Every structure is written in C-alpha cells, then in structure tokens.
C-alpha cells in the first residue's frame, strides 16, 4: 500500500455531467503523486452530523494542473485529456467521478471552485501488485466490466495497462444512457467499448453481462482477465461468467465504510477461509480482490463474528 495523506484540499472544478453525476477535481499534489490505479479516497464534507462520516470515492483520474492553483479562481485549471502530457508531468489534481445518491453526495454536488474539504488518500491497495500485471500480460485481452458508477474505479487501470501495451475492451452497463458517463475517457486505451442500458436508450438493451457472454462465446479460445466494478448483483453475475468460461477475475468492491483504515471492521466481507481468516476488510485488504477469494451468494450474508 502506498503512503496515505490526510489533507485539506481545494476544489478546482465540480463539473455536472448527465444523470446526477459530477466530476470533482481537487488540487492535492502529494495525494495525486502517491495514487495507484484502483485506490480510493475518503472525502469529508463540512456540515451536520449526518455528513460527519467520510464518503469513500474511487480515484477516477489524475491530471496535471495547467496553471497555478489559487483559491476561488473561476476558470478551469485542470489539464485537458491529453494522455501524452499526463505521462510527462507529475499529477497535481485528483478527480472523483460521483453520482448523487444521498445527503453526502448531494452536498458534494454543491461544492464550488475554491471550497475546501478534508480528504484522506490514497487508500486501499490498487489493481497492480506485480502478480496482477503478470496475469494481464499473459492473457489475450483485459476486459473491464463496469456497472454504473463502478466505472470510476477502472480508468487509471486502463491507462496503466495501455502504457504496457496490453489490449483491453470495456463493457459498461447502466440503467439509462445518462448513467454511461466517462466512456470517452476510456477510448484512447481500449480497442472497443460495448455499452448496455436497461431501458435500451443506448447500446444493448438489457444487462451488460449479456453482450459480455456473447463475446466470451465468440472467443472461447482466448484467455481474458476481467476487471470488474459495480453493484453487488452485477459483480456476482460477472464473476459467474468468469468462472463458467474459466477466466481470472479481479473485483473492486464498494461496500459501505466507516473508518477506511482497518479499525472499525464495518467493511468486512466473507472470503474463503475459516475463523478470523474468513473475513477481510475492503478498505485495507481491498478494495480489489481476486473473485475466487470472495464468498458470493447467500453464504456471504453470514454475519461477521468474533473479530
């Protein structure tokens, strides 16, 4: 795990996107430089008791700042989407892609350039201890599979893999076309994007696992590495496909969290093992796990006891 920093950071931009999604850019050079793909931040908003807890957010992207960041400036100071430039200049800006679902995220949506907030980051271990990369290099293609805001966990990984010349493909599903945010950001890194919406407003009509299975059937002779993030049911369905077609699968979990530093055990999930070894904390041992390590189905509902 890389070093984490507890910082007061300054909002550079909070851009509204479709369907209640926002892209929040904050100036935080130390946290940005320490971040690895798959890690997350805990954002604490000022305000009443119900927003006292920090909210976990995947670190979506890292950018260089194009001009000196000073509090309260009106124009955007985030470098545009230029992958070559990103590699040359040290990142200073952390971007969080989020969706309004409750009080905390609604409050985030009200942030303006120059506002300050507390942020603990980077947290968790990312996608790339060496064995993940070795696995990705050995496979024919990495398949990113995202459900809704789960897309936020995958962009940095896609960029890192592209830098290593590893072929990739994105399968992305949402309820409606408004949920399919960030697709353009992936395009420089993936061979193709396959979209699905439950209402049929964009791409395949239905769940994203349907075109995914068709692709797996058409390519039975190939070896894929899945990288998946999304709601639990979508994770489970994707893991089942990975198991059925014998591909390895990494899942990034988005459990509710309390402390995010391994103390409260509130984020524990059931994993293969017995006794104390049957549980791991998403915040510190995750958020990324090999799918075969996680206990899926009804078994997962067994309560955390004795730890």
Ligand X SMILES: Cc1cc2nc3c(=O)[nH]c(=O)nc-3n(C[C@H](O)[C@H](O)[C@H](O)COP(=O)(O)OP(=O)(O)OC[C@H]3O[C@@H](n4cnc5c(N)ncnc54)[C@H](O)[C@@H]3O)c2cc1C
Binding site residues, ligand FES, CB under 6 A: 257-260, 262-267, 281, 283
264 binds, among ligand X, ligand FES, none (CB under 5 to 8 A by kind): ligand FES
40 binds, among ligand X, ligand FES, none (CB under 5 to 8 A by kind): ligand X
30 binds, among ligand X, ligand FES, none (CB under 5 to 8 A by kind): none
Least distance from ligand FES to the Cβ atom of residue 11, Å: 25
Determine if 43 is a binding residue for ligand X (CB under 6 A): no
Cβ–Cβ under 8 Å, residues 14 and 112: yes
Sort strands 224-229 and 141-147 into parallel, antiparallel or unpaired. parallel
Determine if 104 is a binding residue for ligand X (CB under 6 A): yes
* Neighbouring residues of 285: CB distance < 8 A, sequence distance ≥ 6: 125
Least distance from ligand X to the Cβ atom of residue 272, Å: 21
Residue linked to tokens 């350039």: 113
Determine if 56 is a binding residue for ligand X (CB under 6 A): yes
What does the longest C-alpha to C-alpha distance in the chain come to? 55
36, 55, 159, 281: which one binds ligand X (CB under 6 A): 55
Least distance from ligand X to the Cβ atom of residue 92, Å: 20
Q: Where would I find the beta strands (DSSP E) of the chain? A: 5-16, 21-27, 40-44, 55-58, 61-63, 93-99, 116-123, 141-147, 168-174, 192-197, 204-205, 224-229, 248-252, 268-270, 279-281, 288-290
Measured between alpha carbons, how far is residue 112 from residues 15, 94, 115, 235, 305 in Å?
Answer: 9, 15, 6, 34, 43
Determine if 95 is a binding residue for ligand X (CB under 6 A): no
Complex with ligand FES: residue 4 or 260, whichever CB lies closer: 260
Complex with ligand X: residue 40 or 132, whichever CB lies closer: 40
Least distance from ligand X to the Cβ atom of residue 122, Å: 11
Q: Which of residues 185-224 bind ligand X (CB under 6 A)?
A: none
DSSP-derived letter for residue 255 is -
257, 269, 288, 294: which one binds ligand X (CB under 6 A): 257
DSSP-derived letter for residue 3 is P
Least distance from ligand X to the Cβ atom of residue 128, Å: 16
233: number of Cβ within 10 Å = 11
Binding mask 140-179 for ligand X (x = CB under 6 A): ---------x--x---------------------------
Locate all alpha helices (DSSP H) within 15-63, ordered by sequence.
Answer: 29-34
Three-state secondary-structure class, residue 70: coil
126, 147, 203, 287: which one binds ligand X (CB under 6 A): 287
Which residues are at the interface with ligand X (CB under 6 A)? 40, 55-58, 96-99, 101-105, 149, 152, 254-257, 287
């Amino acid at each position: 795990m890389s070093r984490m920093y507890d910082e007061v950071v300054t909002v550079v931009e909070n851009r509204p996107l479709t369907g209640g999604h926002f892209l929040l850019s904050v100036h935080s050079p130390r946290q940005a430089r320490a971040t690895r793909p798959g890690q997350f931040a805990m954002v604490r908003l000022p305000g009443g008791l119900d927003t006292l807890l920090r909210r976990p957010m995947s670190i979506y992207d890292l950018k260089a700042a194009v001009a000196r960041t000073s509090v309260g400036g009106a124009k955007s100071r985030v470098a545009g989407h230029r992958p070559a430039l990103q590699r040359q200049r040290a990142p200073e800006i952390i971007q969080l892609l989020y969706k309004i679902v409750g009080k905390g995220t609604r409050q985030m949506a009200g942030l303006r350039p120059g506002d300050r907030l507390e942020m603990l980051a980077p947290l968790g271990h990312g996608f790339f201890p060496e064995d993940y990369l070795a696995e990705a290099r050995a496979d024919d293609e990495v398949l990113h599979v995202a459900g809704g805001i789960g897309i936020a966990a995958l962009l940095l990984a896609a960029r890192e893999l592209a830098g290593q010349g590893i072929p990739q493909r994105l399968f992305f599903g949402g309820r409606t076309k408004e949920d399919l945010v960030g697709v353009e950001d992936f395009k420089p890194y993936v061979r193709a994007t396959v979209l699905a919406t439950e209402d049929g407003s964009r791409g395949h009509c239905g769940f994203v696992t349907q075109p995914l299975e068709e692709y797996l059937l058409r390519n039975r002779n190939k070896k894929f590495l899945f990288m998946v993030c999304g709601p639990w049911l979508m994770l489970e369905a994707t893991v089942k496909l990975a198991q059925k077609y014998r591909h390895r699968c990494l899942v990034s979990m988005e459990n509710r969290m309390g402390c995010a530093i391994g103390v409260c055990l509130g984020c524990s999930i059931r994993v293969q093992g017995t006794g104390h070894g049957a549980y791991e904390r998403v915040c510190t041992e995750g958020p990324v796990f090999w799918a075969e390590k996680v206990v899926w189905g009804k078994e997962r509902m067994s309560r955390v006891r004795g730890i």
